[in-house]
Amino acid sequence: MSQDMKQAALDYHANPIPGKLSIELTKPTATAKDLALAYSPGVAEPVREIAKDPELAYKYTGKGNLVAVISDGTAILGLGNLGPLASKPVMEGKGVLFKCFAGVNSIDIEVNAESPQAFIDTVARIADTFGGINLEDIKAPECFEIERTLIEQCNIPVFHDDQHGTAIVTAAGMINALELANKKIEDAKIVCLGAGAAAIACMKLLVSCGAKSENIYMLDRKGVIHAGRDDLNQYKAMFANETNKRTLDDALDGADVFVGLSGPDLMSAEQLMKMAANPIVFACSNPDPEIRPEVAKAARNDVIMATGRSDYPNQVNNVLGFPFIFRGALDVRASAINEEMKVAAVNALKDLAKEPVPAEVLKAYELDKLEFGPEYIIPKPMDTRLLGRISAAVAQAAVDSGVARLPFPAHYPLTSIHDVYGK
């Protein structure tokens, strides 16, 4: 990023008031009578009702449209373990996206936990406050046990965005990119650089979509994950292949797909040249991708390229998932976000990329034209149709799979965040 952009980003966060979110009132507070309803004595009435029936918290408080965005700061974007406080701009950022794209209220919570168990205990104790919990930027392998335990302990959706949000968006983009490259997912040789939260979840979902695990070469800092290694945790071990490949160069030789979920500038133009014809490169590390699109495209013109960033074509980023997935889950009061709901989100997202792009989206991105092709494999985050399509698909899948506690919403499909409480 240029010095100008860096300063602009700091100014954006600092001015005119610090931070990116604030809390707004939803009820009148102008008179003494208003205050008597909002606070003492009126507030005692919903207290008594909720004490008798906890479900009434959804009627009398903001719980049903409130998500906690919770991090321990151990894997902030691709910047690494910089601690909970430093993660706050990202968590506030997730809150901005929840609100502006899906009308979901959120509170960011940065937890200074000395162990995964301390983190779990902290989250479990505050879970009832919220309609859902979005775990963010928690490093592997701890994130897997943290999420599993919290799903068990909480009766609201708990969703580790870096795993599942990323996997859903990656799968949708990949299915479309493979179609454009005229490649079959079951034959594709896939290299995944990174073996953490995002990488493991992405590769698992690609396998569910038809990829063959024997065709996937996953790498961590020590190189290719193979059956001969004795230093693998149970999550990496699921991707250990019988192979002689040891390095990224070895793995990329003839590969069809590269998925980067690791760190900045880890793939060179020379390495890209080793890939098969019409290679697909998802360099998704944030903020700096594994290889920059300008470097990749200068090296070869047959590459279908995506990054996690807003300032290049094909933004493969979990922003295309979590706001709308939670919207759908909250609106049917789902007890969890299950596989059926994730697959429904993949399908809604990939299908939308094939439809004509509305003028307002073109305007937002200052483009004259955008149609399904190598430069447009996945919808743009500012496409307002995402709200209606993904939330409806997720809500329907929740109803069909039996985790919804409310019927499919009568006010769906949503056309705007102003409709989220009904039209």
Provide the annotated active-site residues.
39, 94
**Nearest residue by C-beta to ligand PYR?**
286
Q: Does 316 participate in binding ligand NDP (rule CB under 6 A)?
A: yes
Determine whether the annotation assigns residue 317 to a binding site: yes
> Is the separation of the CB atoms in 328 and 391 below 8 Å?
yes
283 binds ligand NDP (CB under 6 A): no
Q: In the complex, what is the shortest distance from the CB of residue 140 to ligand NDP, in angstroms, rounded to a whole number?
A: 3
Asked if residue 244 belongs to a known ligand binding site, the reply is: no
- Taking the complex as a whole, the smallest distance from the CB of residue 181 to Mg ion amounts, in Å, to 27
Should residue 398 be labelled a site residue for ligand NDP when binding is judged by CB under 6 A? Answer: no
Q: Which is nearer to ligand NDP, 390 or 399 (CB)?
A: 390
In the complex, minimum distance from the CB of residue 17 to ligand NDP, in angstroms, rounded to a whole number: 28
Contacts of 376 (CB under 8 A, 6+ apart): 313, 314, 353, 357, 370
Which is closer to Mg ion, CB of 90 or CB of 393?
Answer: 90
Q: 142 touches which of ligand NDP, Mg ion, ligand PYR, none (CB within 5 to 8 A by kind)?
A: none
CB 385 within 8 A of CB 320: no
Minimum CB separation from Mg ion for residue 136, in Å?
5
The pattern of x and - marking residues 273 through 312 that bind ligand PYR according to CB under 6 A reads -------------x---------------------x----
From the list 255, 159, 161, 170, the residue with the least C-alpha distance to 204 is 170
Is 345 in contact with 318 (CB distance < 8 Å)? Answer: no
Q: DSSP letters of 180-248?
A: HTT--TTT--EEEE--SHHHHHHHHHHHHTT--GGGEEEEETTEE-BTT-S---HHHHTT-BS-S--SH
Nearer to ligand NDP, 80 or 254 (CB): 80
Residue 137 engages Mg ion in binding (rule: CB under 5 A): yes
Ligand-binding site membership of 286 (annotated)? yes
Displacement of CA 324 from its chain's centroid (Å): 10
Cis peptide before 323 (omega within 30 of 0): no
Please name the helix (run of DSSP H) or strand (run of DSSP E) that holds residue 257, with its range, or none.
strand 257-260
- Residue 338 assigned to a binding site: no
Q: Where are the alpha helices (DSSP H) in 292-408?
A: 293-299, 322-331, 339-352, 359-364, 385-400
170 binds ligand PYR (CB under 6 A): no
301 is annotated as contributing to ligand binding:
no
314 binds ligand PYR (CB under 6 A): no
- 297: buried, middle or exposed (CB in 10 Å: 19+, 13-18, 0-12)? middle
Residue closest to 367 by CA, chosen among 300, 417, 307, 312: 312
With contacts defined by CB under 6 A, how many residues of the chain interact with ligand NDP?
Answer: 28
CB of 259 vs ligand NDP, minimal distance in Å:
10
Instruction: Extract the tokens encoding 233.
Output: 């945790």
Peptide bond into 141 cis (omega under 30): yes
Asked if 166 is part of the footprint of ligand NDP (rule: CB under 6 A), the reply reads yes
| Residue number, 324 or 376, with CB nearest to Mg ion | 324
Is residue 77 involved in binding ligand PYR (CB under 6 A)? yes
Q: Does 318 bind ligand PYR (CB under 6 A)?
A: yes
Q: Which helix or strand (DSSP H or E) is residue 259 part of?
A: strand 257-260
Residue number with CB closer to Mg ion (137 or 331): 137
Query: Rounded to an integer, what distance in angstroms lies between the CA atom of residue 105 and that of residue 236?
Result: 35
Q: Which does 219 bind (CB under 5 to 8 A by kind): Mg ion, ligand NDP, ligand PYR, none?
A: ligand NDP
The DSSP symbol for 280 reads E
What does DSSP assign to residue 115? S
Backbone angles phi, psi at 323, to 5 degrees: -60, -40
Quick one: which of 162, 220, 256, 288 contacts Mg ion (CB under 5 A)? 162
Which residues of this protein are in contact with ligand NDP, per CB under 6 A? 75, 77-78, 139-140, 162, 166, 193-199, 219-221, 261-263, 266, 284-286, 308, 316-318
- Sequence ranges of the binding site for a divalent metal cation: 136-137, 162
- Sequence ranges of the binding site: 136-137, 162, 286, 317
Which residues of this protein are in contact with ligand PYR, per CB under 6 A? 77, 137, 161-162, 286, 308, 317-318
